[in-house]
């Protein structure tokens, strides 16, 4: 059942494309080649292609391509296919005073020659890829194709950065004088997707096609960037001047004698504090037994005299100066996202190159290069059809 379904899908694709397939010998097995992506959101996407070919025991394949209502017969298929899916989805990231630094040091990979893919990432849930496919054939009547499919989705991600630094940097003179196919990805942060894809097909064909398909979606993501604070004690200068009036009630109150007293009496000169020349003459009682004595209500054994008085209002003034410790909150660390390519980077570079540098969250970056080279056959033939 599954094999029949694949064949039906392949036939459907060939029906939609301006292409038909024929073969002189009906014997052999059907070969199907399907590529598809089933995403988390239940969306079925037929991202690649479907080929239906009748393979003979002699491995002869005849493909007929419609051209101006006539059939242009070609023989053989030369194809380079690059397909890549990156889905940073449903991730939750919390960074507290974290430093995510992705750096390519200065003068790296200078004078490099060949095919190069470099991925540098710092942080969480980053996806990076460098893909290169090449196909070459010798059949002078072939169908030649270079195909690229790339899907990137950053969805339903929650990122919270407090006092975190995401720095992605390519230093000076990186890849200076390089030659060839170069892919460089540098990412710092969370849920970033980066890809460099190259697909090249060449053959002395009658028909050449180049296709690059890139899909990017960044949906329903939440990113919170904020600083952190710390307590700090400072000495605050204080200079205050105070003045005012203290008002007391006008109602009199009574002052009572605190103890019983018996005062000695002496005669003689008033200038002698110790009474050396004076004569003791007796004493004066000041207790509860004297006439009109007032007893102390808080101590019944004490009596004597009492006074009624009022306290006058008081005028007050004063100054306060000096320093006092105060606790305040100060900035500790800010959240920053820095993506930088320094001077002289990629200078004197020859060839095909894709550079992606991203800092932060949910960034999608893609470089796709598809090329089909169809040289003329035997010094003649149709004009080559390049594709990019």
Mean pLDDT in consecutive groups of 10 residues from the start of the chain, 388 residues: 35 33 30 34 34 32 50 76 93 94 92 93 94 87 88 95 95 92 95 95 86 92 95 94 90 89 78 68 87 90 89 91 94 95 88 94 94 69 43
Two tokens, residue 269: 């000169």
Burial class (CB within 10 angstroms; exposed 0-12, middle 13-18, buried 19+) of 218: middle
Task: Give residue 18's pLDDT.
Answer: 34
Task: Give residue 70's pLDDT.
Answer: 60
Whether 328 and 232 have beta carbons less than 8 Å apart is answered as yes
Task: Give residue 8's pLDDT.
Answer: 31
Whole-number Å distance between alpha carbons of 387 and 143: 14
Whole-number Å distance between alpha carbons of 183 and 356: 8
Angle at 353 between CA 348 and CA 354, to 5 degrees: 130
Task: Give residue 190's pLDDT.
Answer: 95
What is the three-class DSSP state of 2? helix
Burial class (CB within 10 angstroms; exposed 0-12, middle 13-18, buried 19+) of 214: middle
Q: What is the pTM of this model?
A: 0.62
Whole-number Å distance between alpha carbons of 286 and 292: 11
Which of 76, 67, 83, 78 has its CA nearest to residue 372? 78
Q: Where are the beta strands (DSSP E) in 268-313?
A: 279-286, 294-296, 299-304, 306-309
Task: Give residue 277's pLDDT.
Answer: 65
DSSP states of 288-340 as a string?
TTSTT-EEETTEEEEEE-EEEE-PPPEEEEEEEEEEEEEEEEEEEE--EEEEE
| Percent composition of the chain: helix, strand, coil (DSSP 3-state, to 5) | 5, 60, 35
């Amino acid at each position: 059942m599954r094999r029949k379904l694949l064949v039906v899908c392949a036939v459907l694709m060939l029906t939609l494309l301006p292409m038909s397939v024929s073969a002189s010998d009906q014997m052999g097995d059907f070969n199907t080649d399907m590529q598809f992506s089933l995403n988390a959101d239940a969306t079925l996407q037929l991202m690649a292609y479907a080929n239906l070919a009748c393979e003979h025991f002699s491995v002869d394949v005849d493909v007929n391509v419609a051209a101006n209502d006539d059939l242009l017969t070609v023989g053989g298929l030369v194809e380079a296919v690059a397909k890549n899916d990156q889905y940073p989805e449903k991730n939750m990231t919390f960074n507290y005073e974290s430093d995510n630094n992705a750096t390519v040091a200065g003068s790296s990979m200078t004078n490099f020659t060949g095919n190069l893919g470099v991925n540098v990432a710092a942080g969480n849930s980053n996806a990076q890829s460098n893909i290169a496919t090449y196909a070459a054939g010798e059949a002078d009547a072939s169908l030649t194709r270079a195909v690229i499919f790339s899907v990137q989705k950053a969805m339903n991600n929650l990122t919270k950065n407090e006092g975190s630094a995401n720095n992605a940097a390519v230093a000076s003179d990186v890849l200076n004088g390089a030659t060839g196919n170069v892919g460089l990805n540098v990412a710092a942060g969370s849920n970033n997707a980066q890809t460099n894809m190259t697909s090249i097909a060449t053959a002395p064909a009658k028909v050449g096609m180049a296709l690059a398909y890139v899909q990017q979606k960044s949906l329903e993501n939440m990113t919170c960037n904020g600083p952190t604070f710390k307590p700090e004690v400072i000495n605050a200068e204080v200079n205050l001047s105070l003045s005012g009036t203290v008002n007391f009630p006008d109602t009199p109150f009574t002052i009572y004698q605190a103890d019983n007293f018996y005062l000695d009496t002496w005669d003689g000169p008033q200038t002698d504090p110790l009474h050396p020349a004076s004569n003791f003459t007796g004493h004066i009682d000041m207790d509860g037994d004297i006439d009109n004595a007032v007893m102390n209500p808080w101590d019944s054994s004490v009596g004597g005299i009492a006074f009624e008085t009022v306290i006058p209002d008081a005028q007050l003034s004063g100054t306060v100066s000096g320093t006092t410790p105060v606790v305040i909150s100060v900035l500790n660390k800010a959240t920053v996202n820095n993506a930088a390519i320094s001077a002289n980077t990629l200078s004197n570079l020859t060839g095909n190159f894709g550079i992606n540098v991203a800092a932060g969250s949910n960034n999608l970056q893609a470089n796709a290069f598809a090329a089909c080279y169809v040289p003329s056959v035997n010094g003649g033939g149709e004009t080559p059809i390049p594709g990019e």
